[in-house]
Amino acid sequence: MFEDGLVFEDGLVFEDGLVFEVSLVFEDGLVCEVGLVFENGLMCEVCLVFEGGLVFEDGHMFEESLMFEVGLMCEAGLVCNADLVLEVCLMFEDGLVFEVGLVCEVGLVFEIGLVFEDDLVFEDGFVCEVGLVFEEGLMFKDGLVFEVGPVCEVGLECEVALVFEVGLIFDDAFMFKDGLMFEDGLVFEVGLMCEVGLVFKDGLMFEDGLMCEVGLMFVGGLVFKDGLMFEDGLVCNIGLVFEDGLGFEDGLVCEVGLMFEVGLVFEDSLVFEDGLVFEVGLMCEVALMFEDGLIFEGGFAFDVGLEFEVGLMCEFGLTFEVGLVFEDGLVFKYGLVFGDGLMFEDGLLFKDGLMFEDGFMFEVSLVFGNGFVFEVGLVFEDGLVFEVGLVFKDGLVFKDGLMFEDGLVFQDGLVCKDGLMFEDGIVFKDGLVFEDGLMFEVGLVFKDGLVFEVCLVFEDCLMFNDGLMFKDCLVFKDGFMFEVGLVFEDGLIV
């Protein structure tokens, strides 16, 4: 026991190592102006207790590592740049400070865990070639700051959880070669900010969900080769910003749902090879914006439905190879805007229908490979607007009709600049109602005919600049009624 501590001006050198069977107690600390050098290592069977802390001015070098069987306790703090191999635990009341950085050629191995009451600060980064293993987790009250970035070649494995009250800031990158595994989830109260990007080769698995109160921002994008799984959902209060897009090789699965208060912004594209599945639904209070479009190879299924308060805007279009299935319908408060149109190879299926409060606008076209199926109905409060036109390869099929009270109602009319083309015809069971008229600048073409089981009602008029052409026939079972008149500028061909 040293009450006043030990002071070595020129340092201490131990060629064969230093062995303590019981313990060393320094009340005022151990001060070495040059440094401590252990060529064969330092071994302590019980523990080292430093009440005043350890200070190494010229660094701390261990050729064969530093091993503590019980633990290392520092009340004031530890300043060093060496690697550590500990079988029990480390407890630091005032935190760890590394001016040069902590570099470990072999790695840090802790069988129980590390507990830091204040914080960890690494000015030059944290580098481990083998990896960090914590059985009881890491707790950082004031956050963990890496100026260069932590690099782990094997991976970080935590059986309990990682809790960060302030947040993690990585200027360069966070790279795990063998993936990241959290049994109790990863919780960030402030947010996770990465300027380069996160790369997980084995995917991320969160059993209790990922919760971020501020939001996730990734400048370089996220790449998950094995997919993401959230049992309790993903909650972001601000939104997600992905400059390089998201890529999921095995798909994204959410059992509860995704909720975004601000919205999602994808500048490049979203690619889902195996589809996107939501059991509850996707709710966005602002909007979804995709600049380069969406590609779903395995389909897009929603059990509950989608609700968009602002609308869904896609500048380059949506591509679905299999199709969309909505059990409870789609609700768009401010309409849909697609720059290059929609393409569905296997069609769309809506069990409870579609509702658009502010309309439905396509700048280019809408292409359906195998049809458009509605089990309930289609409701448009402010009308349909098509700047170029609609193209249906296999026609439109409505099982229960386009129904709003007595059919399909357009309060402000239907305007199609380049006309409509239906290869297999349209069947309406309950009729169509247009309050302000139906206007086509080019024409309406039906290759296999048009069938109305009830009637057509036009309150104002129908105007076709280039006429109507029906190759097979036009059939009205219960009549055809116009309150004002029918106008054909270039004639009617049936």
Highest mean pLDDT: which range of 19-23, 175-179, 254-258: 254-258
Quick: pLDDT tens for 419-437: 888 788 777 777 777 878 8
Model pLDDT, residue 83: 61
Model pLDDT, residue 84: 67
Residue 450 pLDDT more than 70? yes
Model pLDDT, residue 359: 77
Question: Over pLDDT 70: what percentage of the chain?
Answer: 96
- Its sign, for the CA torsion 56, 57, 58, 59, is positive
Average per-residue pLDDT in the chain?
81
Residue 369 pLDDT more than 70? yes
d(CA 290, CA 313): 7
Least confident residue range of 35-49, 161-175, 213-227, 246-260:
35-49
Separation of CA 386 from chain center: 32
pTM of the model: 0.73
Residue 403 pLDDT more than 50? no
C-alpha to C-alpha distances, 417 to 117, 214, 413, nearest whole angstrom: 68, 45, 13
Q: Which residues of 190-210 are buried (b: 16+ CB within 10 A; e: fewer)?
A: bbbbbebbbbbeebbbbeebb
Phi-psi region of 257 (alpha: psi -120 to 50; beta: other; left: phi over 0): left
Of 460, 417, 467, 477, the residue nearest 446 (C-alpha): 467
Residue 65 pLDDT more than 80? no
Span 404-419, mean pLDDT? Answer: 71
Of 424, 470, 426, the residue nearest 444 (C-alpha): 470
Quick: pLDDT tens for 112-148: 778 788 888 888 888 888 778 888 778 888 888 888 8
Residue 493 pLDDT more than 70? yes
